[in-house]
């Protein structure tokens, strides 16, 4: 599994992400609108993919003129992800961004909504 920021070439796949939650989601229309306002950006949208298939996405939001995002707006995962996988105890990932076999430990679903990330 590879975790990486998206590029403009990924836009169609990001817009095609299934939106099944009734609240707190980022559907294609909203993503496109906020992308047009530079509040979402390809480099602020990260995906986990395996063999070209997106398994999860994370979308950060920021002001249109900001150099960095302000909040993590939405994290959602495909329901087919295997449960029970884990990251190393120190939370580190290999330099190539790959995850260990067994997945992320998340069995699917979403956590969405603008909650400010406050540094330590």
Question: What total of structural domains would you count in the chain?
Answer: 1
**Residue 23's domain spans which residues?**
2-114
Under 8 Å between Cβ of 41 and 70: no
Q: Is 103 exposed, middle or buried (0-12, 13-18, 19+ CB in 10 A)?
A: buried
pLDDT digit string, tens, across residues 7-66: 999 999 988 888 766 555 788 999 999 999 999 999 999 999 999 889 888 999 999 999
Q: What is the β-pairing status of strands 71-77 and 53-61?
A: antiparallel
- In terms of Cα–Cα distance, which of 54, 60, 48 is closest to 4? 48
Is 68 a member of any domain? yes
**Could you read off the pLDDT of 89-117 as tens digits, one per residue?**
444 445 554 444 433 333 455 555 554 44
120 in a domain, yes or no?
A: no
**pTM higher than 0.75, yes or no?**
no
């Amino acid at each position: 599994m590879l975790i990486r920021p998206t590029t403009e070439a990924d836009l169609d796949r990001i817009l095609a992400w299934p939106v099944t939650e009734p609240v707190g989601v980022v559907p294609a229309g909203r993503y496109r609108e906020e992308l047009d306002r530079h509040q979402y950006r390809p480099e602020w949208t990260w995906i986990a993919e395996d063999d070209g298939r997106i398994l999860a996405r994370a979308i950060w939001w920021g002001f249109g003129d900001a150099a960095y995002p302000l909040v993590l707006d939405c994290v959602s995962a495909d329901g087919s992800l295997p449960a029970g996988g884990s990251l190393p105890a120190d939370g580190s990932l290999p330099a190539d961004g790959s995850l260990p076999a067994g997945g992320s430990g998340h069995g699917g679903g979403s956590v969405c909504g603008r909650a400010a990330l406050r540094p330590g």
